[in-house]
């Protein structure tokens, strides 16, 4: 037995809150570059207070493409454990730019060298289910068979299920198969981290996430899925000959099915997400005359604890000393 330990996910929440507050000023203004830049700046400054020696595994890109939060960058104040970190300051930059729902700021963290590094992979096939259905999901099973088994595990009929799918041309056959099987669908233009979180959240109407989305986003979402004992089955799914050739040159197995335990090899994970634009998952940032309110999801994997946190920020007072620009 041990006394309660520090929940580093609460420190990560301060990081995602700062990114959400900074980027939400750009909601619907049609400028995703400035919105993302504001979030990156705020997140990088806030990481300086986190008591870890962190290595960015999933970041904004290589150093020559991103000045901050790039893959391989060291973050944190260096006083705590060595950890792998995945970040997405704005998951859904287009959602933010056009004022659409479900843009979020996200950070995941795991012990050093336990987070899958996707290398040159941009896309992967994903199947995400909550804990109750983790033992029946099968990435290679026909859609009707998967839906039937998952529905039974959840104590539902197939007609009760809601499946999150990205509204992309590549998913036309998948969408037709889901409809033919009788399940319901939520189509989203972007935001497959949010989609994966919806599938494992017991309070959300989404039951399953299916389809091909971003590989970095998959690793990031895996931090939360592992923390809540859900399942994510994945296989790299390159969408161009250049991506396929790069994976082949890197010696990465494109046929291997990787579970959430392959993507994150430890239960000692931490995860935080803060809503930016609001929607079906997390409420967005609401500004007042003197401050703002944010809503966040916080997960500690070792205990399996999931928290929803509403924070009220006095921006006028905070801006008197904070290096982060919230205006």
Q: Does the annotation place 308 within a ligand binding site? A: no
Under 8 Å between Cβ of 121 and 236: yes
The bridge status of strand 53-58 relative to strand 292-300 is unpaired
Structure tokens at 97: 């730019």
Helix axes 192-200, 215-227, angle to 10 degrees: 20
Q: Are 125 and 139 in contact (CB under 8 A)?
A: yes
Taking CA atoms, 111 is separated from 71, 117, 138, 246, in Å, by 16, 13, 28, 28
Q: Do the annotations mark residue 138 as ligand-binding?
A: no
Does 301 count as an annotated binding residue?
no
**217 assigned to a ligand binding site:** yes
Provide the angle, in degrees to the nearest 10, between the axes of the packed helices 32-47 and 8-23.
Answer: 150
- Would you say 170 is a known binding-site residue? yes
Strand 82-91 to 231-236 pairing: unpaired
Q: Is 60 annotated as a binding residue?
A: yes
The answer to whether 168 is annotated as binding is yes
Enumerate residues 6+ apart whose C-beta is below 8 A from 323. 45
Does 316 show up as a binding residue in the annotation? no
Was 205 annotated as part of a binding site?
no
Separation between Cα atoms, residue 159 and residue 181, nearest integer Å: 8
- According to the annotation, is 159 in a ligand binding site? no
The 3-state DSSP class for residue 85 equals strand
- 53 labeled part of a ligand binding site: no
Pairwise CA distance, residues 18 & 39, whole Å: 7
- Please tell me whether 36 is known to bind a ligand: yes
Torsion angle (degrees, nearest 10) of CA 180, 181, 187, 191: -140
Exposure on the CB side of residue 187, measured as CA atoms within 13 A: 10
Is 145 annotated to bind a ligand? Reply is no
DSSP letter string over 130-198? -GGGTTT--TTS-HHHHHHHHHHHTT--GGG-EEEEE--GGGHHHHHHHHHHT-EEEEESS-HHHHHHH
Point out the annotated binding site for substrate.
Answer: 91-93, 123, 168-170, 190-192, 214
Point out the annotated binding site.
Answer: 36, 60, 88, 91-93, 123, 168-170, 190-192, 214, 217
Point out the annotated binding site for Mn(2+).
Answer: 36, 60, 88, 91, 217
């Amino acid at each position: 037995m041990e006394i309660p330990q520090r929940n580093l996910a609460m420190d990560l929440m301060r990081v995602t809150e700062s990114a959400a507050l900074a980027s939400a000023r750009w909601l619907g203004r049609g400028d995703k570059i400035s919105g993302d830049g504001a979030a990156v700046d705020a997140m990088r400054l806030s990481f300086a207070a986190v008591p870890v020696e962190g290595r960015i595994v999933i970041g904004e890109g290589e150093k020559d493409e991103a000045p901050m939060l790039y893959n391989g960058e060291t973050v944190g104040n260096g006083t705590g454990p060595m950890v792998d970190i995945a970040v997405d300051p704005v998951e859904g930059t287009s959602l933010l730019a056009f004022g659409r729902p479900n843009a979020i700021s996200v950070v995941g963290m795991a012990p050093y060298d336990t987070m899958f590094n996707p290398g040159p992979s941009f896309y992967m096939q994903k199947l995400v289910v909550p804990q109750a259905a983790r033992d029946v999901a099968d990435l290679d099973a026909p859609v009707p068979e998967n839906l039937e088994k998952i529905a039974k595990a959840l104590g539902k009929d197939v007609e009760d299920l809601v499946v999150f799918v990205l509204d992309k041309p590549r998913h036309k056959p998948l969408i037709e198969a889901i409809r033919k099987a009788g399940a319901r669908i939520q189509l989203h233009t972007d935001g497959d981290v949010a989609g994966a979180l919806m599938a494992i959240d017991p309070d959300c109407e989404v039951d399953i996430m299916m389809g091909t989305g971003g590989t970095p986003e998959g690793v990031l979402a895996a931090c939360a899925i592992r923390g809540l004992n859900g399942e994510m089955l994945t296989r790299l799914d390159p969408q161009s000959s250049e991506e396929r050739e790069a994976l082949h040159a890197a010696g990465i197995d494109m046929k291997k099915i990787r579970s959430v335990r392959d993507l994150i090899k430890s239960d000692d994970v931490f995860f935080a997400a803060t809503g930016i634009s609001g929607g079906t998952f997390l409420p967005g940032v609401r500004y007042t005359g003197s401050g703002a309110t944010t809503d966040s999801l916080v997960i500690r994997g070792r205990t399996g604890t999931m928290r929803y946190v509403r924070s009220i920020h006095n921006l006028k007072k905070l801006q008197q000393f904070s290096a982060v620009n919230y205006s």
